[in-house]
Amino acid sequence: MIWNVLHRRAAWGLFLAILPAALLALVAVAAPDTQGVLRFDFETGDLQGWEVVEGAFERPVCDREFFHNEPTVPYSKQGRYLLSTLARNDPYPDDRMVGVIESPVFVLEGPTITFMVGGGERDETYVALCTDDGREVRHARGPDHERMQPVEWHVPELVGKRAFLRVVDRSTGGWGHITCDDFRMRGRLDAEATRTRNDRRRSERFAAAAGSLRAAVHDLVATFGDRYARGSAYLRRLDELQAAATARPDALTELETLRREALLDNPLLTQQPIAFVVRPQYRPDHHSTETLFQVGELNTASFEGGSALKLIDFSRGGEVRTLLELPEGIVRDPEVSFDGSRMLVSMRRSRDDDYHIYEVTLEAPPRVRQLTFGQELADIDPMYLPDGSIVFSSTRDPKLCQCNRHIQANLFRMDADGSNIRQIGRNTLFEGHPSLMPDGRIVYYRWEYVDKHFGPAFGLWTANPDGTNHAVYYHNNAWSPGAILDPRAVPGTRYVVATFGSCHDRPWGAIAIVDAARGLEGHLPLVHTWPADLPAYLTNRKDYGEGLSEHRSAYQIDSLVRLQPKYEDPYPLSAKYILCSRMVSGERMGLFLLDVFGNEILLHVEGPGCYDPIPVAPRPVPPRIPDRVRHAETEGTLYLTDVYRGEGMERVKRGAIKYLRVVEAPPKRFWSNGSWGIDATQAPAMNWNCTSNKRILGDVPVAPDGSAYFRVPADRFVFFQALDADKMMVQTMRSGTMVRPGEKLGCVGCHEGRTTTVPSGRRPSTVTRPPSALTPWYGPERDFSYAAEVQPVFDRHCVGCHDYGKAAGRALVLAGDPGLVFNASYSALRSKSGARWTPHRPGAPRKLVKAVDDGPAEILPAYAWGSHRSRLVDVIRGEHHGVQLDRESVERIVTWIDMNAPYYGSYSTPYPDHPFGRSPLDGAQLGRLSQLVGKPLGDVASEFEGSQISFARPAMSPALSGLAERDPAAFAEALQIIEAGRRRLAETPREDMPGWKLTASDARRQSKADRQGEEERAVLRRLAERERAAGSR
């Protein structure tokens, strides 16, 4: 096997292995036959002069006889061999290998090129014809099948000119490979042009690598002086090597040897051991946060053990010592104490265990102490606080992602001995990898969305160690990246380093140093990135079309899936030198040292892969931020200085906003196999195209100067809506916040910039009085249910005309008949209002219901959606055929729209295995019903025509329209099936019906959450007693 791993960005100068030019001369090269036909058929069993110029492939020329997916079907190849980016030396294929292979240069003497191609039909997998300058002028892709298809290119414009072929594979997903064979053309090889091109490429790589090394050595000499004693010698050797480079075929190899020696001599590496983890890469799953594979959850079987915690000492030539060995388990997330004497880790001993926090001493042998316990929960990402207590992420508050079914984690804190575990983050999704900033705050990554698309909902956030003052640090309103992970403060700077990844991928991608002082979003805050061209991947296109077909912008959340190689686990040694884990081959990861000069050097690799590098040495202790929480209290207070200040509020006249509505976004506790989904998976169905439910806590007044001061229930994940005098929404948050017990939290305006301050001398009028209490919304707080809150209005005022079988019903049905997924009126209103939010276009008709659904990433302006933009509200606020609604009825419909038009109040369902997770009919019944009525039922597309089934009045079901006349027997059988669904609902009502209750399985999940809540309340009582005792001294 010829192994060539030259990185695709020559300026980085990364060489894991170098193929000498002398070895290339031994490779067989194709030649024209006696008829002048030049042919690359690989029947010599080698690359025939082609070269792997980027990445690595284990067996690029293979002789596999049968398909991988259909092992009895022979490959449609010519002869014995073919070119493949998939094949390995063992029988198992691997789509994870990526790279580029190029042919020798040839001169075309005829206009036609033929060959065969198979594999992936992806933008990142193709065969290209290139002109001599590297420009791609023709492309061919596979058919997403192993069967190779014939291709013929007609290129008369290239006859008599130099060209070459390029095979590109930059995809690691399904069908992420290319196979090809039997290239034929009339022409001749141009050995001189090939040699010139290869020499030029090597010369450019050498120059770039030498420049990067020289810059790094100069920096190390200037920074460390005598501590980097061999710096001058390294520079002299580099001068000598550069002077002789053109005459030495092994110059690149020698340069790599010198570079490794010089950069491993970096005092930041040699002054202490480096701890790291050996483990397999996490298996693919739904999302970049899904690495837990917790016992009792749907993906437990994806857990793969075999791990160790080790130390490597570069001052001793890379000597490795094992601290912990787990043959069937995983150790992860090491964090070193401030004095460098011990580490926190998360450890799981087997698939039947769960992750818990342990403390490990660094003596030989190490002492191991378990700090957290419990079943069917995961404790990960621990970190020390300056007072000795510990913050970590945990699934102890059991909640699931709203766009699928996976367990999520929040921030928790405990005492040094593992006691007094309490929750300090309440986001409804994931809060991970906390680390300390120089000022004592915590920086962590957070995935959360409220009325926003699930993908562009990742960001870096900060909080005080007691959980007060959670605030966005970077990226919460852009489409890409789809994930930002593993933040750490960069020593001696205001910067943070983090992994930039994709939504649907493992927790890897690119690495970036971020200066949030430059801005919250975009490229400007990026101080340095690996790769250097990362900004090209971070697109933020806002093309929403008409909101009827496929989402045109959502693809950006996975823009970094195609990035190669991938990085993760960054640890900043300084602002210029970063430790990380990085791809070596396929998905195997090694420990690397990156620098800002273009060097990326492999430090160590072993076993299935190496992760989580962290220096083991004392480090400065940040200042301790005093706790502000008063655990005996149940509320906090929030003040708003001026609601009219902030992005998107420019169009709002002062005095227009009279109230703030406080809304809770409750956690998802339950899931189903059946699902509904337009832009996201809802399991079970919740709303038309929004994954969350809502709970109105109440509203408070806004003063004429735009200020508000009010009490908020503590430790609830809430958001705020600005309302006018008619209680119609003007602007809303599409994120969430929380207030801790006794916390006083303030904000300057509505979506104001993070650096915005209160104008000098301006004192909000509301802070001179006691805080307002919440005014409830028509009764005690409760989960908002369309059937309970809105449908009664239509029943009283509208169904007399807008019903099945009536003239107005042909235009719009407003009856409350339960359907397969929603009721009739909800399906009618939403199906006539488009699939998703789009900007309003002047002159365009207003949508019946203008919801934002799971809306775009960016902050939208005031009045962009909601009741002010909905035609239904125009109708109900006026007189409609003699019907005039009372104020409460209008407000209920207005509020429903402004709450983003939700339907179900709970994720619990008695029909988790049925279509949509809500239908009383199972898949077999719906399949038969579809056959009888002659149209598909039970899929999302059919519901875009409005509710097709009425379980209240089965004979009125729209799906049966005209069937009795066409086929009486089919009508009778179909009616029986719908009647069976009606009886099932009567016996076991679902959440949108009276009599609904939790199923046994959902009750068990709720009981788990209740137990956690009770345990935490006991902790809070102890902490409150501790505070009282401290106050009395």
Is residue 432 within 8 Å of residue 289, measured between CB atoms?
yes
The SS3 call for residue 328 is coil
CB atoms within 10 A of CB 512: 26
Does the residue 730 lie in any domain? yes
Domain's final residue, options 230, 248, 267:
267
On whether both 277 and 390 belong to a single domain, the answer is yes
The Cα–Cα gap between 123 and 912 comes to: 38
| pLDDT above 60 for 290 | yes
Dump pLDDT digits (tens) for 80-130.
999 999 988 888 888 878 889 999 999 999 999 999 999 999 888 999 999
pLDDT of residue 234: 97
| pLDDT above 60 for 6 | no
270 DSSP assignment: H
pLDDT of residue 553: 80
Whole-angstrom CA distances from 313 to 24, 279, 343, 604 are: 37, 19, 17, 11
Q: Nearest to residue 371, comparing CAs of 339, 347, 398?
A: 347
Q: What is the CATH number of the domain that holds 611?
A: 2.120.10.30
CB atoms within 10 A of CB 254: 17
| pLDDT above 80 for 172 | no
**Mean model confidence pLDDT for the chain:** 92
Mean pLDDT of 659-684: 96
**Cα dihedral 504, 510, 511, 516 in deg (nearest 10):** -70
On whether both 921 and 802 belong to a single domain, the answer is yes
Dump pLDDT digits (tens) for 479-518.
999 999 999 999 999 999 999 999 999 999 999 999 999 9
pLDDT of residue 10: 33
On whether both 362 and 458 belong to a single domain, the answer is yes
Mean pLDDT of 396-410: 95
On whether both 958 and 840 belong to a single domain, the answer is yes
Is residue 981 within 8 Å of residue 928, measured between CB atoms?
no
Would you list the DSSP string of 667-684?
Answer: PB----SS-EESSSEESS
Whole-angstrom CA distances from 399 to 155, 297, 321, 533 are: 59, 11, 39, 37
Q: What is the pTM of this model?
A: 0.89
| pLDDT above 80 for 25 | no
Does the residue 104 lie in any domain? yes
Does the residue 490 lie in any domain? yes
Is residue 14 within 8 Å of residue 564, measured between CB atoms?
no
pLDDT of residue 647: 83
On whether both 751 and 832 belong to a single domain, the answer is no
pLDDT of residue 1033: 58
Percent with pLDDT over 70 in the chain:
95
The Cα–Cα gap between 580 and 594 comes to: 8
The Cα–Cα gap between 338 and 497 comes to: 20
Dump pLDDT digits (tens) for 511-560.
999 999 998 888 999 999 999 999 988 988 887 877 776 777 888 898 89
Crossing angle (nearest 10°) for helices 968-987 and 923-933: 150
pLDDT of residue 5: 27
On whether both 557 and 572 belong to a single domain, the answer is yes
| pLDDT above 80 for 448 | yes
The Cα–Cα gap between 822 and 476 comes to: 32
The SS3 call for residue 525 is coil
Would you list the DSSP string of 50-64?
Answer: -EEEEE--S-SEE--
Is residue 618 within 8 Å of residue 342, measured between CB atoms?
no
Whole-angstrom CA distances from 229 to 217, 222, 237, 459, 600 are: 11, 11, 14, 42, 22
Residue 924, both tokens: 């077999």
Does the residue 176 lie in any domain? yes
Mean pLDDT of 603-615: 97
Does the residue 194 lie in any domain? no
Helices (H) and strands (E) in the chain, counts: 16, 46
Does the residue 747 lie in any domain? yes
pLDDT of residue 872: 96
Domain's final residue, options 199, 232, 267:
267
Domain count across the chain? 6
Mean pLDDT lowest among 18-32, 774-788, 931-945, 954-968: 18-32
pLDDT of residue 756: 58
Is residue 892 within 8 Å of residue 901, measured between CB atoms?
no
Does the residue 993 lie in any domain? no
On whether both 184 and 309 belong to a single domain, the answer is no
The Cα–Cα gap between 744 and 739 comes to: 8
pLDDT of residue 521: 85
What confidence tier does 3 reach under pLDDT thresholds 50, 70, 90? very low
Mean pLDDT of 157-175: 91
Domain's final residue, options 267, 294, 312:
267
| pLDDT above 70 for 79 | yes
Whole-angstrom CA distances from 665 to 402, 476, 692, 718, 854 are: 11, 18, 7, 6, 14
pLDDT of residue 93: 85
Contacts of 260 (CB under 8 A, 6+ apart): 601
Residue 230, both tokens: 């061999």
| pLDDT above 70 for 758 | no
Continuous segment of H or E residues that includes residue 136: strand 136-140
The CA angle 893-896-899, to the nearest 5 degrees, is 150
Residue 255 has phi, psi (to 5 degrees) of: -65, -40
pLDDT of residue 765: 80
Percent with pLDDT over 90 in the chain:
79
On whether both 518 and 487 belong to a single domain, the answer is yes
The partner residues of 447 in beta bridges, in order of sequence, read 430, 458
Domain that holds residue 300: 269-540+553-615
Residue whose token pair is 């791609």: 136
On whether both 261 and 364 belong to a single domain, the answer is no
The Cα–Cα gap between 463 and 43 comes to: 63
Q: What is the CATH number of the domain that holds 99?
A: 2.60.120.260
pLDDT of residue 799: 95
Continuous segment of H or E residues that includes residue 809: helix 807-811
Does the residue 836 lie in any domain? yes
Mean pLDDT of 373-390: 97
On whether both 1009 and 888 belong to a single domain, the answer is no
On whether both 967 and 1017 belong to a single domain, the answer is no
On whether both 418 and 449 belong to a single domain, the answer is yes
| pLDDT above 80 for 33 | no
pLDDT of residue 747: 85
